[in-house]
Chains A and B, each alone.
Chain A
């Protein structure tokens, strides 16, 4: 750890007490007392079941909880010095906690976990989201095994999700990462993942912690660092993912921490993505993820209204970001009736690429560029929902595949804009 000043003395003392570890489980939290107890129990069960002989530690990086989250975690340590415990364990299972700040910052939390992993010389590490209420003990094994036994450096999750769940991932993140970086990672923005000590140290050593990565989206940066650093990546099926963020108002923060981070990463990774063509599959363990097709009521009218309203109200903003032809096409489709309204894949890809180029050139404030994408994304969601309303899992997969190919086909368009001075 080159710059260990961000770790508190108390935390360093706890790490020294632990010594070395084979497996590290990172748990970033902030006021998660309601769910964290069950999650830590599951983690503990997973470790005791699948890795009873390994030295394991749970590291909690807390962003200033006031509800006793930290105490709930540390209480669940297992000590081999107290045989009276109801849990049978061969080894001590440490559960230590540190408060890295008074407000949650996912990047700082991850950095703390990475630093702890490096100091403890952990061979395999996983990070579990404190909101993963559907977590089972087998998740722990699924994430650790590929790193611990098969030599993979990054284990990205796949889930069983509803066909309309995670639409920012399926309509932008996955296709764009696939087209630009040439790697077909379904969940580049990961909430649960595993990584090797080698990848952790590599990412920790990158000089990017002071330029915004500390705040948000570090998980996506880790994925991209693994891809550009040519580390061994695999995907593993975990199970059903419950959507935790159901409110539409969360779209802008979601865009910031995923699309904003991806757009920023494109600058530093230009050498890597500009020379990549096509895309390759990533080895996947476990069963193939399936889509849930149960009917879901979606307020399509509101989605379209917000798109139309956005196109009309933000025209002055779009004039700085989009080309005149793309803006004209958006105005054209905004004038269509609900029955005829479609935001075609080709236009969506052009829009996203022009936003990425505008972000690079900082034509206006970068956060404003990201915010301006929200109403357009709603238009795309409307089209995706309409196109796949009665579609089978296969139809939805084909639809997403078609969008991915469109992203790959138009990659030269992004390169052209990227290289042009104005």
Chain B
């Protein structure tokens, strides 16, 4: 009996030692990969930050309206955000690579899925950024055109242009990420429809007086203005 217990104990210790001997080198490799990954991610972050500063990415982000959003959320500048994002993404990739070395079956599958997801994530970030740029540019163009044409409520018009583009961009981003595609499709339909209906109501009913004034200014005042001399700029 005593011998059996000793034998089982020694077998357990032996198995533990064998398991430890089996995993220790893998653990060391994982730690090395994690450390090397951190180092590489850090270097990439520094280089990326310099490149973005060189190409005045913050100004681009400001034009796109992204800087204002970040500032409202008390987040760092766009350059810093992108650099940090790439740092964490790179390091996370290395960490998962390291974990896969351990040979844990479930984790290996998750790692593979993560790496397959990366191109879609990058595409989504790019679409979001250029979408923000397009929305900012178009909203400003609409604002300037409306102000110079003396159209009532130019900011409302500009906001409507920005909102329509952003709703469209966000729906494309979510579709690219594969997140709740059906929900997003329905949400997009509802949001877009609601926006259009809202605008129709705003202009048709809510802005009845405004519309009347606008039309009066547009058509009734024309005669009055034709009687007044306008100035030739050049």
Bound-state CA distance A91–B148 (Å) is: 52
Contact of B148 among A296, A298, A375 (CB under 8 A): A375
Bound-state CA distance A319–B150 (Å) is: 21
Asked if residues A364 and B63 are in contact (CB atoms below 8 Å), the reply is yes
Query: In whole Å, how far is A214's beta carbon from the nearest beta carbon of chain B?
Result: 20
Asked if residues B230 and A313 are in contact (CB atoms below 8 Å), the reply is no
Asked if residues A244 and B232 are in contact (CB atoms below 8 Å), the reply is yes
114-166 of chain B: CB within 8 A of chain A? 137, 140-141, 143-150, 154-155
Asked if residues B233 and A250 are in contact (CB atoms below 8 Å), the reply is yes
Question: What size tier do the contact residues of chain A reach?
Answer: 35 or more
Bound-state CA distance A310–B147 (Å) is: 6
Q: Using CB atoms, name the residue of chain A closest to B137.
A: A365
Contact of A165 among B59, B63, B228, B231 (CB under 8 A): B231
List the A side residues contacting B140 at CB < 8 Å.
317, 364-365, 368
> Is A299 among interface residues, defined by CB-CB distance under 8 A?
yes
> Is B234 among interface residues, defined by CB-CB distance under 8 A?
yes
Q: A365-B137, A368-B141 are in contact. Are A309 and B230 (CB under 8 A)?
A: no
Q: A252-B148, A309-B150 are in contact. Are A246 and B63 (CB under 8 A)?
A: no
> Is A314 among interface residues, defined by CB-CB distance under 8 A?
yes
Query: In whole Å, how far is B61's beta carbon from the nearest beta carbon of chain A?
Result: 13
Give the one of A164, A250, A363, A371 with max B CB within 10 A.
Answer: A371
Contact of A297 among B62, B155, B229 (CB under 8 A): B229
List the B side residues contacting A375 at CB < 8 Å.
147-148
**Majority SS at the chain B contact face:** helix
Bound-state CA distance A310–B146 (Å) is: 10
List the A side residues contacting B141 at CB < 8 Å.
365, 368
302-334 of chain A: CB within 8 A of chain B? 302, 305-306, 309-310, 313-314, 317, 320
Query: In whole Å, how far is A190's beta carbon from the nearest beta carbon of chain B?
Result: 10
Asked if residues B234 and A381 are in contact (CB atoms below 8 Å), the reply is no
Q: Using CB atoms, name the residue of chain A closest to B155.
A: A313
Asked if residues A317 and B144 are in contact (CB atoms below 8 Å), the reply is yes
Bound-state CA distance A313–B159 (Å) is: 12
Bound-state CA distance A164–B228 (Å) is: 13
List the B side residues contacting A168 at CB < 8 Å.
233-234
Q: A306-B150, A313-B154 are in contact. Are A169 and B234 (CB under 8 A)?
A: yes
Asked if residues B232 and A246 are in contact (CB atoms below 8 Å), the reply is yes
> Is A189 among interface residues, defined by CB-CB distance under 8 A?
yes
Bound-state CA distance A377–B63 (Å) is: 24
Q: Using CB atoms, name the residue of chain B closest to A384.
A: B231
Bound-state CA distance A296–B225 (Å) is: 13
List the A side residues contacting B143 at CB < 8 Å.
313-314, 317
Q: A313-B154, A317-B143, A364-B140 are in contact. Are A165 and B148 (CB under 8 A)?
A: no
List the A side residues contacting B232 at CB < 8 Å.
165-166, 243-246
List the B side residues contacting A297 at CB < 8 Å.
227-229
Q: Using CB atoms, name the residue of chain A closest to B152.
A: A309
Q: Using CB atoms, name the residue of chain B closest to A314.
A: B147
Bound-state CA distance A185–B85 (Å) is: 56
> Is A72 among interface residues, defined by CB-CB distance under 8 A?
no
8 A-B residue pairs with CB within 8 Å = A245-B233, A258-B234, A297-B228, A306-B147, A310-B147, A310-B148, A313-B155, A365-B140
Beyond known contacts A244-B232, A258-B234, A374-B147: 18 more, CB 8 A cutoff: A165-B232, A168-B234, A169-B233, A243-B231, A247-B230, A248-B231, A296-B229, A298-B229, A302-B150, A305-B150, A309-B150, A309-B154, A310-B148, A313-B147, A314-B147, A320-B62, A363-B59, A365-B140
